[in-house]
A and B are shown apart, each in its own frame.
Chain A
Amino acid sequence: MILALWALLLSLGAGPARAAGPCAAADGGLGSLVGGLAGLLDAHAAGAAPDSDCDGIEDALDDRFDGPVSVEIEHPWTDGIYSWTAAFTLATTGEGQHRATLRVHLDGPRDAAREQGWERAVEDTWSREGLVLDLVFVDRAADAHSTVQVRHGEGWANAGTWFTEDDGLVVAHEVGHQLGLLDEYPDPDLPQRPVGPVDSIMRSARAAHRPRSYPWHQAGIRALLHCP
C-alpha cells in the first residue's frame, strides 16, 4: 500500500522532501514517504493542485486514491517572549475529516487513573469541528512527539511541565500549545495579544467557566496542512 502510494507520488513528480512549509518530515524511508506526501500537500497550498475536500489528495486524483494521508507536523512557534515547538501527527481520513495524534512521554510520577482522566478531558476538548484528537501516553521518550515533566503537587502548569494535581482542563489547555495554538488570556507582557472569550480553553482552564474549544482552534490546527 505504502509502496504503491510512493510510486504514485513519484509518478506525479512530487519531491522526496518538502522544500518549504511548516511541517518537517522525519528522516529515513518512511520519513521520505511522509516528506513526499507533505510535498504534495505543499503543492496544494501553492494553488497548483486544488484540494477542495482537504483530504490531502488533489481533486483530480480523488477517484484514484482517496485514503488517509499522515504527516508529521513539527513547527516552531513564538508568541512574544514565549517560544516552543508544536509536534504531532496530522492525518486526513479521506472523508474531509482530520485526525491528530499526539504522543506524549510523561517524565515523573505515573498514575493510570490520573492519566486516564487527563486523556479523556483532552480528547473531549479538542475532538470537534471535524477533528479527532488521540492523546497517547508512551513509555519511551524516543516514541513521543514531546516529553512533559510531571511534578508532584500543585504549580503553574506550562507547555513543558504538568503537576499531579492539575485537572484535565489545565492539561487540555497545555496540549493546545503542543497542537500549535496560542494563549488567549490577557498578558501584561504581551499587550497586543488577542484575547479570546472567557470560556475559550486557551483563555481559561477553570471548570466554572466551562472552557471549550472554538472552531478557530481546529482551523488553526488544520492550517498546518494548509487546508482551505
Chain B
Amino acid sequence: MAITGFFTDSTLCIGCKACEVACKEWNGVPDDGFRWSGHSYDNTLALGHSTWRHVKFVERAPEIGRGGNAPQGMTWEFSSDVCKHCEHAGCLEACPTGAIVRTEFGSVYVQPDICNGCGYCVVTCPFGVIDREPEDGRAFKCTFCYDRQKGGLQPACATACPTGSILFGDLEQLERYADDRIARLHAWGMTDARIWNPKDTSVGRTHAFFLVRGDARDYNLPEKPEVPTVLLKKAWSAAAVGAAAIAFAALLAFRKR
C-alpha cells in the first residue's frame, strides 16, 4: 500500500471552509460550540476533538511606516490545518492502551473501540491537535479518512476542496510537487513562500505538510517541534537516581544499631 499524505497550499486557499464541512459530514463530527472569537473570520481558532480540519485566517498587521495602501502592508492568508500524522508521533508513542496505531498508509489512527480516555495523548502532541471530548470521554482527531482510503477514495476534505489547495496522494510525489511549486512561486516573485515540514526535528517527516508565506509561527506552526519521547532518557535517569536515593536513605536510616 502506498504511503499517502496531504499537501496543503495556503496560496491557493480561499477560506471557504468546505474542507471543514466535508470532514464533519463524512465523519459525523459534532459541532464545536457556537462562539464568537473576534479573530478574523475564524471562530474555531484551533484543531480539537471536534475540529479535524481547521481553516486559519492569518491576518498580519501592516508594518508601521509602510502606509495602509502599500501592497506589502496588511496581508490576509488562509490555510487549512490538519493533524500532521507525524513520523514520530507523540500521541502514538504515549498511548498506554495501544488504541493509537500506525496504518498501512503511514497515518496515525485512534481506534475508538480501544481508547479509554486517559488523556495522555493530549499532553504529548507537540501541535495541540488531539483532545478528549468531554461528553464522550475519548480522544479524537483526524483519521486521515482511514475508511475512505480503505475503499480507494481520497479523504473528504481533499475531495471537497474547490481550488486544489488540499492535495492528497503519494507522499513522495507530493513532496516533489511541493518543491516544484515553491520554485515556481519564487520565480513569480512570491519570495516569502516556503514549505513547512519538520523533517529535521525529532518529530520527523510529517504526512501532512504545508506551503505558507513568511514566518510559519504566524500560522501556529512551530519551527522546532519536539516529540516528547526524546525526554524519556533524561526523565527515567532522574527517576532511577531518585529511586536509588530513597532505597539507600531508607536502608541507611534503619541500619542495625
Is A bound to B?
no
